[in-house]
Amino acid sequence: MTSTIKKIGVLTSGGDAPGMNAAIRAVVRACAYYNVECIGIYRGYQGMIEGDFKEMGPRTVKNIINKGGTILKSARSKDFMTTEGRLQAYNHLKESGVDALVVIGGDGTFTGAEIFNNEFQFPIIGIPGTIDNDIYGTSHTLGYDTALNTVVEAIDKIRDTANSHNRLFFVEVMGRDAGHIALNAGIGGGAEEILIPEENLGLDRLVESLRKSKDSGKTSSIVVVAEGDKIGKNVFELKDYVEENMPDYDVRVSVLGHMQRGGAPSCFDRVLASRLGVKAVEVLLEGKTNYMVGLLADKVVLTPLEQAIKGQSRVDAELVKVSDIISI
């Protein structure tokens, strides 16, 4: 390819997600493959403002495809919300000869990219990296598949105890705005009920459902609750409510927390990261900008960043139905 772009910068921003390192590796190696220089930018937009840059070559990124987190580190940057901050960032890029960016992150990261591009006409491609899978324009975000496996493995362990003691467990998983993790890991973990932000089951129906579940011969139960569940009570209040209304139940709570964000990425996330990283570089070299590279119908596709930010990634109604059927 011939292109005016000679040096590409890559950064990770927002919450870290497994697969970010695999994506960095793919970007760096695709640059080498297409004879373009590559600069790693530390701590997201904040490092861009501070000029925290490092040259990267194919060997710089060896043995990171299987590592969680991000070797470029991530941070949220208040300074990047100011015109001054962004100007400083732009100047650092220009000084270093960087003439295009690949940004790996979520909604916030893409919003920053949009603004930066508008101000400086700087070519930018986004890669969706967040375990929450709440980005429009891609069936899977980096880290989502890994997080699902982390959650079902934790539920498998909790079920050992639930079964041994005939208990009911509320397991809280990540997902403030989207129920993807709760719904899929709930099905995969064999949950009796799944509470997600997209649906308000209501307390009465929850208790009714648990009672029905017990009456049908189930001696233990797992209820998976997304952080952002709309039932209006946190997971400890849910426990109290159920214990009051079902005194025959021994109820426990487990909040899985931050370990959902880490760990060696699954094969799926490594392959996805490799595909998106390569494509991001190729697309920049073709002269495109302001797109997110994503996966739809198993193919790598482009979505305008603006749409990716505004659009909503909805849970599949079929899955909600499947969840109801198989928890009978």
Q: Give me the active site residues, please.
A: 132
Site string for a copy of itself, 275-314 (x = CB under 8 A): x-xx-----------------xxxxx--------------
Task: Tell the smallest beta-carbon distance from residue 120 to a copy of itself (Å).
Answer: 27
25 is an annotated ligand-binding site residue: yes
Task: Let me know: does 90 contact 99? Beta carbons within 8 Å.
Answer: no
Q: How far apart are CA 45 and CA 32, in angstroms?
A: 24
Q: Is 226 in the site for a copy of itself (CB under 8 A)?
A: no
Nearest to 42 by CA among 62, 58, 60: 60
Binder among 58, 97, 202, 311 for a copy of itself (CB under 8 A)? 58
Q: Kindly tell me the burial class for residue 326, based on how many C-beta atoms sit within 10 Å of its own C-beta (0-12, 13-18, 19 or more).
A: exposed
The contacts of residue 198 (CB under 8 Å, 6+ apart) are 178, 179, 230, 314, 315
CB-nearer residue toward a copy of itself: 113 or 251: 251
Binder among 6, 54, 55, 59 for a copy of itself (CB under 8 A)? 59
Half-sphere exposure of 152 (CA within 13 A, CB side): 14
Binder among 82, 91, 118, 166 for a copy of itself (CB under 8 A)? 166
Tell me the residue type at 33.
Answer: Y
Segment 10 to 29, residues that bind a copy of itself, using CB under 8 A: 12, 15-16, 18, 25-26, 29
Task: Pick the stretch among 77-85, 91-99, 147-155, 202-210 that binds a copy of itself (CB under 8 A).
Answer: 147-155
CA 242 to chain centre: 31
Q: Kindly tell me the burial class for residue 280, based on how many C-beta atoms sit within 10 Å of its own C-beta (0-12, 13-18, 19 or more).
A: buried
Binder among 24, 98, 102, 151 for a copy of itself (CB under 8 A)? 151
Task: Let me know: does 28 contact 38? Beta carbons within 8 Å.
Answer: yes
Task: Tell the smallest beta-carbon distance from residue 119 to a copy of itself (Å).
Answer: 27
Instruction: Report how many residues bind a copy of itself under the rule CB under 8 A.
Output: 88
Task: Let me know: does 273 contact 265? Beta carbons within 8 Å.
Answer: yes
Task: Tell the smallest beta-carbon distance from residue 85 to a copy of itself (Å).
Answer: 19
Q: How far apart are CA 228 and CA 225, in angstroms?
A: 8
Task: Tell the smallest beta-carbon distance from residue 207 to a copy of itself (Å).
Answer: 20
Binding region? 15, 25-29, 76-77, 106-109, 130-132, 159, 167, 174-176, 190-192, 218-220, 227, 252, 258-261
Binding region for Mg(2+)? 107
